[in-house]
């Protein structure tokens, strides 16, 4: 049994079989695209750092996964594919500053029992991480420079769903154009905010409604702030119906800011 294993820039490493390996933390940094093989359950904290491509084979569950410094590319295609991976404890994704056509795919991932942390770029445009069948997450935060945040199968965020709809880095201001959560029914705490509150020009002025949350029926707290284009809350109509007191309604510095009473009375759009 190992506490920590670091594989750093091994020139010839293109495939690694982790079957039978018992290690608390495994960090891999490499110069080549890598195939990771293993048994169904990998009880380790896996860190993938700067590898120009990765693919999983045979691994269905991992304790924790951290992806960082994914090489930015606008010519070659860097791909991180995790086929067969169905469940993760915590997942952290941090993409790079430069513009990138590289893509991360979790085609079979259905559950994240801990926290999902998405840092989707820090400057120029990158591609959003793909979660086509993810159904349940415990907590989730998003910052980044993607145009769209898409979770087509997500049904529940048990704790907090925190989305920063704009991001600023120097003179570069990026605004989320779309949130796609068509079957999201339950959220503990829903937060839409901004990366920086220092200037209105750094806040999102693109999102005008919350129709992405039309399916949302059960929410504990709604906190919507610094959405300067937001004029309609009708997408939250079902969720608002279940709110019981004004402490569960935190709304301010948007284009329209209905009070709790106005929201409960159906005054969900700016006149």
Distance CA 168, CA 194 (A): 9
Q: Do residues 39 and 58 touch, judged by C-beta distance below 8 A?
A: yes
pLDDT of residue 63: 95
Element (H, E) at 248: none
3-state secondary structure of 155: coil
> In whole angstroms, how large is the CA radius of gyration of the chain?
20
Element (H, E) at 260: helix 260-264
pLDDT of residue 245: 93
pTM as predicted: 0.94
Distance CA 168, CA 174 (A): 6
Per-residue pLDDT of the chain (271 residues; tens, 9 = 90+): 889 999 998 888 899 999 988 999 999 998 888 999 999 999 999 999 988 889 999 999 999 999 988 877 776 678 899 999 999 999 999 887 767 778 889 999 999 999 999 988 777 778 889 999 999 999 999 998 888 999 999 999 999 999 999 988 887 889 999 999 999 999 999 999 999 888 898 999 999 999 999 999 999 999 999 999 999 999 999 999 999 999 999 999 999 999 999 999 999 999 8
pLDDT of residue 218: 97
Element (H, E) at 160: strand 156-164
CB-based contacts of 207, cutoff 8 Å, min separation 6: 165, 175, 176, 177, 179, 227, 229, 230
β-pair partners for 186? 156, 218
Distance CA 56, CA 36 (A): 5
Q: Do residues 208 and 230 touch, judged by C-beta distance below 8 A?
A: yes
Distance CA 131, CA 151 (A): 6
């Amino acid at each position: 049994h190992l506490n920590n294993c670091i594989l750093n820039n091994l020139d010839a490493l293109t495939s690694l079989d982790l079957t039978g390996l018992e290690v608390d933390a495994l960090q891999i940094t490499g110069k080549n695209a890598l195939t990771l093989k293993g048994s169904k359950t990998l009880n380790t904290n896996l860190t993938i750092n700067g590898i120009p491509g990765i693919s999983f084979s045979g691994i269905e569950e991992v304790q924790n996964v951290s992806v960082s410094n994914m090489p930015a590319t606008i010519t070659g295609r860097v791909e991180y594919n995790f086929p067969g991976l169905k469940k993760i404890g915590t997942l952290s994704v941090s993409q790079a500053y430069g513009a990138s056509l590289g893509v991360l795919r979790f085609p079979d991932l259905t559950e994240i029992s801990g926290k999902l942390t998405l840092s989707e770029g820090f400057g120029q445009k990158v591609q959003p991480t793909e979660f086509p069948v993810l159904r349940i997450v415990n907590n989730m935060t998003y910052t980044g420079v993607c145009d769209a945040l898409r979770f087509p199968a997500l049904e529940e965020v048990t704790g907090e769903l925190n989305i920063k709809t704009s991001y600023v880095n120097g003179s570069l201001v990026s605004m989320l154009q779309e949130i796609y959560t068509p079957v999201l029914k339950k959220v503990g705490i829903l937060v839409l905010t901004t990366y920086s509150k220092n200037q209105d020009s750094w806040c999102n002025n693109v999102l005008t409604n919350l129709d992405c949350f039309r399916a949302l029926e059960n929410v504990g707290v709604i906190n919507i702030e610094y959405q300067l284009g937001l004029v309609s809350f009708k997408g939250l109509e079902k969720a608002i119906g279940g709110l019981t007191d004004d402490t569960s309604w935190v709304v301010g510095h948007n284009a329209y800011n209905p009070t709790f009473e106005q929201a409960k009375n159906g005054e969900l759009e700016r006149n």
